[in-house]
Amino acid sequence: MLRSHTCGELTLKNAGQTVTLCGWLARSRDLGGMTFIDLRDRYGITQLAFNMETNKQLCEQARKLGREFVLKASGKIAERSSKNLKMPTGEIEIVVEKLEILNESKTPPFTIEDETDGGDELRMKYRYLDLRRSPVKNNLLQRHKVGQAVREYFDSNGFADVETPFLIKSTPEGARDFVVPSRLSPGDFYALPQSPQTFKQLLMVSGFDRYYQIVRCFRDEDLRADRQPEFTQIDCEMSFVEQEDVLNMFEGMVKHVFKKVRGLDLPKFTRMTYADAMKYYGVDKPDIRFEMKIVDLTPSPSPQGEGSNSLVKGKGFKVYDDAELVAGICAKGCAEYTRKQLDELTEWVKRPQIGAGGLGYIKYNTDGTLKSSFDKFFDAVGLKKIADKFSANAGDLILILAGPEAKTRKALGALRLEMGERLGLRDKNKFECIWVVDFPLFEWNEEEKRWFAMHHPFTSWKKEDEELLNTNPGAVRANAYDVVINGVELSSGSIRIHDRSQQEKMFNLLGLTQEEANYKFGFILNAFEYGAPPHGGIAFGFDRFCSMVINNEDYIRDYIAFPKNNSGRDIMLDSPSQIDAKQKKDLGLK
Amino acid sequence: MLRSHTCGELTLKNAGQTVTLCGWLARSRDLGGMTFIDLRDRYGITQLAFNMETNKQLCEQARKLGREFVLKASGKIAERSSKNLKMPTGEIEIVVEKLEILNESKTPPFTIEDETDGGDELRMKYRYLDLRRSPVKNNLLQRHKVGQAVREYFDSNGFADVETPFLIKSTPEGARDFVVPSRLSPGDFYALPQSPQTFKQLLMVSGFDRYYQIVRCFRDEDLRADRQPEFTQIDCEMSFVEQEDVLNMFEGMVKHVFKKVRGLDLPKFTRMTYADAMKYYGVDKPDIRFEMKIVDLTPSPSPQGEGSNSLVKGKGFKVYDDAELVAGICAKGCAEYTRKQLDELTEWVKRPQIGAGGLGYIKYNTDGTLKSSFDKFFDAVGLKKIADKFSANAGDLILILAGPEAKTRKALGALRLEMGERLGLRDKNKFECIWVVDFPLFEWNEEEKRWFAMHHPFTSWKKEDEELLNTNPGAVRANAYDVVINGVELSSGSIRIHDRSQQEKMFNLLGLTQEEANYKFGFILNAFEYGAPPHGGIAFGFDRFCSMVINNEDYIRDYIAFPKNNSGRDIMLDSPSQIDAKQKKDLGLK
């Protein structure tokens, strides 16, 4: 080794030792007779000291060194006169006796500091320099720890890490596949896997019993912010299990990782049905760090069967009378919102991403009076009844949206998160974990006018809903479940179909002819005829899981060493790019 | 869980317990009043017992079950009357009280036994059934253990597992890239990595200091037997190191894995230069489990400078007089080889794969006489001198090839391995590990009439050979090294170039114009200007490493869950295959 120690380990205990360090020049200061250099490596920073009086030549050499030069310095460890107790090595410095420049550096295009002056594009282009900055570097080092903890858990629970192929067959069902032209079989293509779904199921058919893999997956989607065309998945499957076994096993994994990496003991996960999540939070991945549930003001079907139990209908306010759904949330302590703030909120909900027609409100003033945006149609008693329905108190602000059921719930879900954000209720130090269960089996695709599998086509349905498959597919519930933490969906899983005729029925409901099903999925249909065990599993988005565990944030790009931009380009490599004419010819492409 | 225990864990200690097992019907026997079923899962086999007297109905049901049916059986654990002490569960059986068929199975197309009757193609097509057979299943479960041991070693030595991208830029230099057409940037392509080489070097530039990854790589080669278009690599890199540090670190890794997985303590690795490997073993990956070194009979340049010290030249035997190299090996105890055996060996060396013109021999008979294939030209003294050169004893057989240096050495290397095989010298229980060092930097490509990098273009050269770069590139030695175990090359590595001008010089020697170098490798040339540390590393072929560690064999296909055949096809998936016209159109392909 060119060094005897790293820049992160020397303390007063080592005083007097002669050591050799290697690293990068992070900062240098000339103080009259002395020059100090902060030498940085992966492990820390150690101060190098040069003295004009005792070693003029070396000190002058040190003064000429630029930022990010790679140095090798030898000398004795001495106690610093001016200590920095914020860093582990802050009590010592190396009185340098020998200095070697291992490599020079041009001036970096942005500062290598925790807070840098470099813009996004520039940092992407020089990603290898951005990775020198502590926040990004630490994310990746922590990501390694998350992976270690994941493997530790699975290894100790008898899961086998089995690698599945990357050059597979194109069977797009939902997102687009990336494809790879074959040279040996011109005109044919491999596809890159969107997930190892069918392979892990085949491993269950093979009797592997418990499988996991931390594996790259690929989806050729039109990229949105913070999506990557390639991403990493923690992929798992178990045999001879029921849903409850799967939930317990993977809840255990999440807890183990939080404990190992963050030292946190997570409480038992909340269980919530998809129906409840949509009803109370307007979204299938609720952030329950704060309450502020959605309250319906249009009646749900009740034994009484009367519309009269609605608090908003029949008052002559056409917007509410005509609306399929009128519902709202109660923002605690916001009764003092000004006209301007309310106008701004109204504009916010009318943005195309939210799409509400307008925003109704009731201010429950601190003096006990009630003031609404629809006072014309409601008396104080009517408003009070609504306020009571929200369990509102004096000082609260009720925000109401009206419109078609699904759209309005979704808008309310977004408004709820926005208000939670504004009120500081989305606590960075809090983790609220939920299992959302009983997802619908299908969702309707208006564009293609057919049912799509909400999870994927290998998900089984609830036995008790089986009769609905032919009459009302939209109402069939799946044995499917998601892990949601703080409003971020981290994983999806299901109990799978393991019977050929059921799988064929599923493909049929998704609009595949028998011929198509056999061409694309014949191998797994066949496999189901040779003793497929009951099985189920789950997959975690590893990039997002890391961003949540490490920093409780939902932004994956800073947790990937070499990410692509929002157009799927690698700016550093300048890829995708042209290839040689010969390469194209070999592949039969023009 | 559908079961209370697995099929591999119950013993006499559990006698009397009521348990539930799930698994596959491996075998069933009807013995008059009793029926026995061997129930198999990943963990083992447990015998189920059914009694016609005590439970006629259940016993009759059991008699109807076919092979590979998936069963769930409950009952009491009883001591067997006829024990099988070869298996852990062989002293007990389950007296079944309740039986459920979880899934049926058609009759498998081949037997699910250690020795199966299925041919290669059939087993590839039904790979999920082949994976049920213990030898293949165990290979994959052991592979997981190898991976665990590798990670354990690197984790504890401060290496960070950092994931590198799969959708990169095409920069073929040697093997062909697989490419991936971009939909968002029509006409452009990503490439799949042949290795993460440049990325791990960038991580060193970033200061990650120690990196590893177990990662899939891709090479679009014309497939030979036992090559796969996708393969897994243990990829590693370290900063601030010299060659010796790298060798010690990764020798430690190999030892750790053998200890953990096989319980074996490997001795210190032998070091051998590439020159010696070629000279004595005719190959750059010698199997030194047995001696039988190649002995030169043409003189090597000597201070005396005379041809007269050759033992074979100038005797009037034209074949030897004209040959650039005459050399041989001594097969101990083979003097009794018959004419037929020698003829067969002669045919063997004349096969195109070996390509020798003929085979000379000297039998050193047990009675002390010498008999050669070229007796016409040599007297007994001449033959004895040759025999002495081989340190041959009575009873030995000397085999001699003659011809051009490189080709003849290679042929002798192959003959040596063949004789070692025939003589049973390649001991399955022995592991001989070597570091082959001082590889040449370049090798000449006759087809393209230019130098290729023998390792890869990022390998540094020995400082003392620098002057030869311009005058005699073929003689320049690289800071490159291979791990070889029992004649199998398991890994290659090198100390890298970390200086822009040296890297440019290298590209230039490989025939790249400055423009091409910048287009393909600009990102890494740039990176070298911002403080690149000295660094080096290595990559292990993980598939082959597993096959060596687990079974001391060199056949990777049985260590990969879903391999491709020798034409690069996945027979089970039937891939590569046609894709939709719409997919092609989206990608701008026709």
Rounded to the nearest angstrom, the minimum Cα separation between A124 and chain B is 12
Q: Which residues of B touch A160 (CB under 8 A)?
A: 140-141, 144
Cis peptide before B563 (omega within 30 of 0): no
Least confident of A56-60, A308-312, A432-436, B470-474: A308-312
For residue B589, the model assigns a pLDDT of: 86
Element (H, E) at A202: helix A197-205
3-state secondary structure of B341: helix
Q: Give the bridge partners for A560, in sequence order.
A: none
For residue A305, the model assigns a pLDDT of: 47
In this complex, the residue of B141, B178, B206 whose CB is nearest that of residue A180 is B178
Q: For the segment A128-169, what is each residue's pLDDT rounded down to a tens digit?
A: 999 999 999 999 999 999 999 999 999 999 999 999 999 999
Residue in chain B nearest A574 by alpha carbon: B169
In this complex, the residue of B102, B148, B178 whose CB is nearest that of residue A534 is B102
Q: Which residues of B touch A176 (CB under 8 A)?
A: 183, 583, 586
ipTM score for this prediction: 0.95
For residue B227, the model assigns a pLDDT of: 85
User: Model pTM greater than 0.90?
Assistant: yes
For residue A172, the model assigns a pLDDT of: 73
In this complex, the residue of A137, A528, A583 whose CB is nearest that of residue B179 is A583
For residue A308, the model assigns a pLDDT of: 52
Listing DSSP states for A20-48 in one string gives EEEEEEEEEEEETTEEEEEEEETTEEEEE
Asked if the model's pLDDT at residue B304 lies above 70, the reply is: no
In this prediction, residue A442 has a pLDDT band, given cuts at 50, 70 and 90, of: very high
Q: For the segment A475-509, what is each residue's pLDDT rounded down to a tens digit?
A: 999 999 999 999 999 999 999 999 999 999 999 99
Distance of CA A95 to the CA centre of its chain: 47
**Contact assessment for residue A315 and residue A308, using Cβ atoms and an 8 Å cutoff:** no
Tell which of B179, B500, B516 to mutate to test the A interface (max A CBs under 10 Å): B179
Tell which of B74, B102, B530 to mutate to test the A interface (max A CBs under 10 Å): B530
In the block, tokens 């042929």 appear at B411
In this prediction, residue A453 has a pLDDT band, given cuts at 50, 70 and 90, of: very high
Asked if the model's pLDDT at residue A261 lies above 90, the reply is: yes
Rounded to the nearest angstrom, the minimum Cα separation between B40 and chain A is 9
Residues of chain B by 3-state class (helix, strand, coil), percent to 5: 30, 25, 45
Rounded to the nearest angstrom, the minimum Cα separation between A132 and chain B is 5
For residue B307, the model assigns a pLDDT of: 47
In this complex, the residue of A188, A220, A232 whose CB is nearest that of residue B578 is A188
Domains of chain A, earliest start first: 12-103 (2.40.50.140), 137-273+434-559 (3.30.930.10), 290-426 (3.30.1360.30)
What contacts B21, CB < 8 A, 6 or more positions away? B3, B4, B5, B6, B7, B39, B41, B46, B48, B72, B73, B74, B94
- Is A103's CB within 8 Å of B499's CB? yes
- Is B178's CB within 8 Å of A178's CB? no
- Is A182's CB within 8 Å of B532's CB? no
In this complex, the residue of B68, B205, B589 whose CB is nearest that of residue A531 is B68
For residue A307, the model assigns a pLDDT of: 47
CA A112/CA A134 separation, integer angstroms? 9
Tokens of B481: 């090294």
Q: Which residues of A touch B562 (CB under 8 A)?
A: 164-165, 199, 202
Q: For the segment B445-457, what is each residue's pLDDT rounded down to a tens digit?
A: 988 899 999 999 9
**Contact assessment for residue A517 and residue A580, using Cβ atoms and an 8 Å cutoff:** no
In this prediction, residue B306 has a pLDDT band, given cuts at 50, 70 and 90, of: very low
Residue in chain A nearest B207 by alpha carbon: A42
In this prediction, residue B27 has a pLDDT band, given cuts at 50, 70 and 90, of: very high
In this complex, the residue of A160, A169, A534 whose CB is nearest that of residue B574 is A169
- Is B208's CB within 8 Å of A131's CB? yes
Asked if the model's pLDDT at residue A10 lies above 90, the reply is: yes
Rounded to the nearest angstrom, the minimum Cα separation between B353 and chain A is 24
- Is A41's CB within 8 Å of B207's CB? yes
Instruction: Output DSSP code: residue B290.
Output: S
Rounded to the nearest angstrom, the minimum Cα separation between B188 and chain A is 5
In the block, tokens 């290898």 appear at A128
In this prediction, residue A310 has a pLDDT band, given cuts at 50, 70 and 90, of: confident
- Is B573's CB within 8 Å of A182's CB? no
For residue B305, the model assigns a pLDDT of: 47
Rounded to the nearest angstrom, the minimum Cα separation between B249 and chain A is 11
Q: For the segment A43-72, what is each residue's pLDDT rounded down to a tens digit?
A: 999 999 999 999 999 999 999 999 999 999
In this complex, the residue of A103, A176, A187 whose CB is nearest that of residue B531 is A103
Q: Which residues of B touch A580 (CB under 8 A)?
A: 170, 172
CA B409/CA B401 separation, integer angstroms? 9
In this complex, the residue of A170, A185, A562 whose CB is nearest that of residue B199 is A562
Rounded to the nearest angstrom, the minimum Cα separation between B551 and chain A is 18
Q: For the segment B331-351, what is each residue's pLDDT rounded down to a tens digit?
A: 999 999 999 999 999 999 999
Tell which of A180, A199, A220, A545 to mutate to test the B interface (max B CBs under 10 Å): A180
* Mean pLDDT score across all residues of chain A: 95
Strand order in the sheet with B433-437: B160-161, B210-218, B230-239, B535-541, B488-495, B480-485, B433-437, B270-273
What percent of chain A clears pLDDT 70, i.e. is strictly above it?
98
- Is A531's CB within 8 Å of B70's CB? yes
